[in-house]
Structure 1
Amino acid sequence: MTMASIAAPARTAAGELATFCGSLRWAELDEAVRQRTRELLLDLLGVTLGGSRVESSSAPRELAQGAGDGQATLIGTRQTSSADWAALANGTAAHALELDDVTTESSLHPGVAIIPAALGLAEELDASPAAMLEAIVAGYEVTMRVGNALNPASAYARGFHPTGVAGAFGAAMAAGRLLDLDDERLTHALGIAGTLASGSLEYLSNGAWTKRLNAGWAAHAGIVAARLAGAGFTGPSTVFEGRLGALHAYTDEPYVERLVEDLGRPLQVMRVSIKPYACCRYNHGLIDCMLSLRGSFGLDDVERIRLGVLSGGALLVADPIEQKRAPANVVDAQFSAPYASAVALVYGSGSLESYSTEKLADPRVRRLMSVTDCYRDASLDAVYPRQWPAAAEVVLRDGRRLSTRVEYALGEPENPVPLDALMSKFISLAGRDDAEALADRILHVDADPSVRALGTALRSGGGST
């Protein structure tokens, strides 16, 4: 049986996504979209450089180093590997700090799957920056739309990590664009990705590193899916909406219509949030609440803290409350609403430095966590998932109650991180003498003749391994 004999039906969701994403051209995109894409590239490369120094990044990198020769940069080193294994290593490193970009409605991290796949394959193919950037835009489009359709709260309840599941489809689209697949083969690539997409939430039980691997595997799987499609392998065109498709396998309450509704209006890259705080995004609004109240009282004056959390994120940051009040390690702390609020009150920050074993052991932080409760607030859930508001109340020993609510956390498109702050974030995470010059180069990557020039620049300040 040939590919032609089982050609994809034109009106499946995968087919529509393939047609739309296959038509995207960098030169035809609005400048606002192009600039946002460059900023997302800058942010993701910064968090990958920082994440490459984390212990959990060593094993995937060693695996990639032993997987064979290639042109794809292993970020944070002077080494290269094949595109698919570099994508696994870089995607895992990018997710290590909980500082990578995120979306509200789809409740996932798109960049960690898309950009490592696109960068690695673009280096391997010696592609132009424009080709890589339009592949990134296409990858974000698919990832976020699949995430929207999954209904993240339902996927969480089933134990699946939307970043890993949806990210594999987006990475397949990005890789397929770079491989110049036609619409039919792009559709097959999405179908193949449905077999490779995965990601368990069981890391929440003990703070394991597998959450980070979910991102790297999605990037790796996307390249594999696209290459298989390019070689003539077939996948189901009804991979999303079919009776046994992804939307029925990974969630109990899918929103199938969200896969293709309002395609391009706006492009999904315009809906991405950049993270200023090194923890689960469901904690960010709570941190902003605490920072706004901080200074109105002394830490010893606090009798109780009440945090209004979204039902869709309660599994991640609030339940079970006994575990969230006593995180055992840094990963646990990154998924603890009580820790996020306590460390913000004590140190006035939610930065990467706030998530350390030293601060986790601080008696002031431990006490505040012990008196923190989380509750569901119907007024918050009413606008979820399109909006992620947060509410908090601090009850003082003298009987006063101080409360506040945040509609849009810092970093949301409605409350964006300024470009100078994004540059500062990159420079801080890169840990290189040439960080400012490298950041400027990334923001003007279109001027490079080839993506390999960017890869060379990334490796020039890398480590020796």
Structure 2
Amino acid sequence: MNELQNLATFVSEIKLENVPKEVVAAAKMCILDTLSTALGGVTNSMFQSIKEVYLKTEKDGNGGISLWGDKREASLRTVTFLNGMSGHILELDDVHINSKTHIGTVVIPAAWTLAQYLQKSGNDLIEAVICGYEVMARIGMGFGVSSHRNLGWHVTGTAGTFGSAAACGKLLGFTPAQMTAAFGLAGTQSCSTWAFLSDGATNKILHPGRAAVSGLESCLLVKGGMRGSAHILDAEDGGIFPMMSREYDYSMVDKDLGAVYEILNVDKKPYPCCRSTHCAIEGALNLRKTYHIDPETIDHVEVYTYLVGLKQCGLSNSSKEPHAATEAKFSTPYLVATAFLTGKVGLSDFEQAKINNTKRQELLKKVVIKEDPIFTERYPHHWGCRVEVTLKNGCTYSQEIKDASGSVTAPLTPEQMTAKALSCCEIYHSEQVKELVYTLLNLESCSVLPDLSALKPVTQP
């Protein structure tokens, strides 16, 4: 298909000096956001255990490439895989809403690790990151967001392989033919589903890690002489668009290519949980503040949202009765209850004791999530909702949120982004983190990438 080949040609031929300045600035902000959330997640106990298992297979961590937040080394593929997972742990990574993809946690670990291995410059990294965002977003939009999701696919994994391949192929100097071959190999490795919601399983962080390393390996295989199909999206027998969606659109793959940069349409999360809960959180926070609502006076709460938001964060038993962090992060009832009770939602709200707090568990059972066709129709361009709270005295108050904080229409300021980065990285020495933030915001001046292994957590879990 010409659309995929056009995308491959675009990636091969793009030059950073011809990219608009606002696109370069957006890429640096995406890099800062992804690295800070990833570094903040490295002390997660499950991730630490996984890392130890993998490093044991590589002679206790002597493989040539250093890990983020860890002085030990491993192979190129293992470091890409582990860094990709760490970026998704806190649920604070960015979201391209028109494709429903978490791009940063796939593209940036792949690009950074390969750039480190190849001793590339900051400009080289920025260029690769822009390519990765453009490709992953466009493949994700092409899948048809609602249909792809409602069939059970997690697009961060299915489109992510393409984004990683684009970033890595750019760093390797691939021709359009090589890039097309890599896309074919990336697509044949597309995977990841939403089954984890059924029982609060902990494998969601696997999806970006696997996508990141699969895209890298696609490029390595091309270097070795393998070729993936140029018809990976549209082949009559095995094309993944018709296999994975009933509403796919090939034209989205190269529509306005070079004129519209999708990296400018990326949300940055202020709350460490599923993006589909953020409008409900803000609705509850606004109602609490505006009407001085005492949680003890609440009779019930109704949240009206889009179908995917209902399925993802309000329909399963684990979202209705969360008892683990992986469940609470995908529970609109829990997050609305938390917002009404505390007036905020932060990382500490996913500690076991707080999730099982009696008041939170009692209030969340009064929160009901429903679909409103109006919000379903607006999705995925707007992930809005309406929160209605009814008090025991019969008074009802309502708040509609069209787009949550951190969206393209309500962006976080540079100061808020810096504050978020510092907050995510509280486990490190503050001066080290401040220096890293400064370096990342001036990445064009770096002839080599900063050493992220030098940031060692002050305290281990």
User: What band does the TM-score fall into relative to the shorter chain?
Assistant: over 0.9
Instruction: Indicate how the Cα distance of structure 1 residues 64 and 141 shifts in structure 2: closer, same or farther if over 3 A, else same.
Output: farther
Question: Counterpart of 2:386?
Answer: 391
Instruction: Indicate if the aligned counterparts of 1:13 and 1:238 stay in contact, CA closer than 8 A.
Output: no
Instruction: Indicate if the aligned counterparts of 2:338 and 2:345 stay in contact, CA closer than 8 A.
Output: yes
3-state SS in 2 of match to 1:393: strand
Instruction: Indicate if the aligned counterparts of 2:69 and 2:454 stay in contact, CA closer than 8 A.
Output: no
Question: Counterpart of 1:263?
Answer: 257
Question: Counterpart of 1:31?
Answer: 21
Instruction: Name the aligned partner's letter for residue 300 of structure 2.
Output: R
Instruction: Name the aligned partner's letter for residue 256 of structure 1.
Output: Y
Instruction: Indicate how the Cα distance of structure 1 residues 132 and 316 shifts in structure 2: closer, same or farther if over 3 A, else same.
Output: same
User: Identity, % of aligned pairs?
Assistant: 28
3-state SS in 2 of match to 1:435: helix
Equivalent residue in structure 1 for 2:454, among 432, 450, 460: 460
1:112 aligns with 2:125: no
Question: Counterpart of 2:160?
Answer: 167
Instruction: Indicate how the Cα distance of structure 1 residues 63 and 262 shifts in structure 2: closer, same or farther if over 3 A, else same.
Output: farther
Question: Counterpart of 1:5?
Answer: none
Question: Counterpart of 2:438?
Answer: 440
Structure 1, unpaired ranges of 5+: 1-10
CA shift for structure 1 position 233 = 0.7
Query: For 1:265 and 1:310, how far apart are their aligned partners in 2?
Result: 30
Question: Counterpart of 1:240?
Answer: 233
Instruction: Indicate if the aligned counterparts of 1:78 and 1:463 stay in contact, CA closer than 8 A.
Output: no
Deviations 1:146-204 (A, max 9, x none): 11111232222222111011111110111101111110000000000112121121111
Query: For 2:364 and 2:109, how far apart are their aligned partners in 1?
Result: 36
Deviations 1:392-446 (A, max 9, x none): 1001111111001011100001100111111111112122222111111111121
Question: Counterpart of 1:290?
Answer: 284
CA shift for structure 1 position 351 = 1.7
Instruction: Name the aligned partner's letter for residue 332 of structure 1.
Output: E
Instruction: Indicate if the aligned counterparts of 2:142 and 2:251 stay in contact, CA closer than 8 A.
Output: yes
Instruction: Indicate how the Cα distance of structure 1 residues 443 and 64 shifts in structure 2: closer, same or farther if over 3 A, else same.
Output: farther
Query: For 2:110 and 2:73, how far apart are their aligned partners in 1?
Result: 14
1:302 aligns with 2:292: no
Question: Counterpart of 1:314?
Answer: 310
Instruction: Indicate if the aligned counterparts of 1:393 and 1:401 stay in contact, CA closer than 8 A.
Output: yes
Deviations 1:34-70 (A, max 9, x none): 1111010001000111111112312442354334754
3-state SS in 1 of match to 2:386: strand
CA shift for structure 1 position 71 = 4.1
3-state SS in 2 of match to 1:196: coil
Instruction: Indicate if the aligned counterparts of 1:301 and 1:396 stay in contact, CA closer than 8 A.
Output: yes
Equivalent residue in structure 2 for 1:80, among 52, 73, 80: 73
Instruction: Indicate if the aligned counterparts of 1:152 and 1:312 stay in contact, CA closer than 8 A.
Output: no
RMSD: 1.6
Instruction: Indicate if the aligned counterparts of 2:323 and 2:352 stay in contact, CA closer than 8 A.
Output: no
1:349 aligns with 2:344: yes
Deviations 1:323-369 (A, max 9, x none): 32211211100001101111111111122122221221122211211
CA shift for structure 1 position 112 = 0.8
CA shift for structure 1 position 253 = 2.2
Query: For 1:239 and 1:79, how far apart are their aligned partners in 2?
Result: 38
Question: Counterpart of 1:209?
Answer: 202
3-state SS in 2 of match to 1:294: helix
Query: For 1:100 and 1:32, how far apart are their aligned partners in 2?
Result: 20
Instruction: Indicate if the aligned counterparts of 2:199 and 2:318 stay in contact, CA closer than 8 A.
Output: no
CA shift for structure 1 position 463 = 4.9
Question: Counterpart of 2:186?
Answer: 193
Give the TM-score of the pair, scaled to structure 1: 0.94
Instruction: Indicate if the aligned counterparts of 1:72 and 1:119 stay in contact, CA closer than 8 A.
Output: no
1:449 aligns with 2:442: no
3-state SS in 1 of match to 2:153: coil
Query: For 2:419 and 2:256, how far apart are their aligned partners in 1?
Result: 35
Instruction: Name the aligned partner's letter for residue 158 of structure 2.
Output: V
Instruction: Indicate if the aligned counterparts of 2:150 and 2:308 stay in contact, CA closer than 8 A.
Output: no
Instruction: Indicate how the Cα distance of structure 1 residues 380 and 169 shifts in structure 2: closer, same or farther if over 3 A, else same.
Output: same
Instruction: Name the aligned partner's letter for residue 376 of structure 1.
Output: E
Count of residue correspondences: 450
Question: Counterpart of 1:147?
Answer: 140
Instruction: Name the aligned partner's letter for residue 104 of structure 2.
Output: G
Instruction: Indicate how the Cα distance of structure 1 residues 32 and 341 shifts in structure 2: closer, same or farther if over 3 A, else same.
Output: same
Instruction: Indicate how the Cα distance of structure 1 residues 60 and 18 shifts in structure 2: closer, same or farther if over 3 A, else same.
Output: farther
Query: For 2:357 and 2:323, how far apart are their aligned partners in 1?
Result: 13
Query: For 1:289 and 1:463, how far apart are their aligned partners in 2?
Result: 35
Greater shift in the superposed pair: 110-119 or 67-76: 67-76
Give the TM-score of the pair, scaled to structure 2: 0.94
Query: For 1:118 and 1:310, how far apart are their aligned partners in 2?
Result: 34
Query: For 1:55 and 1:460, how far apart are their aligned partners in 2?
Result: 20
Instruction: Indicate if the aligned counterparts of 2:313 and 2:331 stay in contact, CA closer than 8 A.
Output: yes
Show the 5 A alignment for 1:35-46: 35-46=25-36
Equivalent residue in structure 1 for 2:244, among 250, 257, 261: 250
Query: For 2:228 and 2:204, how far apart are their aligned partners in 1?
Result: 27
Question: Counterpart of 2:267?
Answer: 273
Instruction: Name the aligned partner's letter for residue 47 of structure 2.
Output: S
Equivalent residue in structure 2 for 1:338, among 306, 309, 333: 333
Query: For 1:426 and 1:463, how far apart are their aligned partners in 2?
Result: 15
Structure 2, unpaired ranges of 5+: none
Show the 5 A alignment for 1:57-68: 57-65=47-55, 66-67=57-58
Instruction: Name the aligned partner's letter for residue 446 of structure 2.
Output: D
Instruction: Name the aligned partner's letter for residue 326 of structure 2.
Output: V
Equivalent residue in structure 2 for 1:420, among 415, 419, 423: 415
Question: Counterpart of 2:400?
Answer: 405
Instruction: Name the aligned partner's letter for residue 21 of structure 1.
Output: V
1:429 aligns with 2:424: yes
Instruction: Indicate how the Cα distance of structure 1 residues 265 and 59 shifts in structure 2: closer, same or farther if over 3 A, else same.
Output: farther
Instruction: Indicate how the Cα distance of structure 1 residues 463 and 409 shifts in structure 2: closer, same or farther if over 3 A, else same.
Output: closer
Instruction: Name the aligned partner's letter for residue 260 of structure 1.
Output: D
Query: For 1:351 and 1:24, how far apart are their aligned partners in 2?
Result: 39
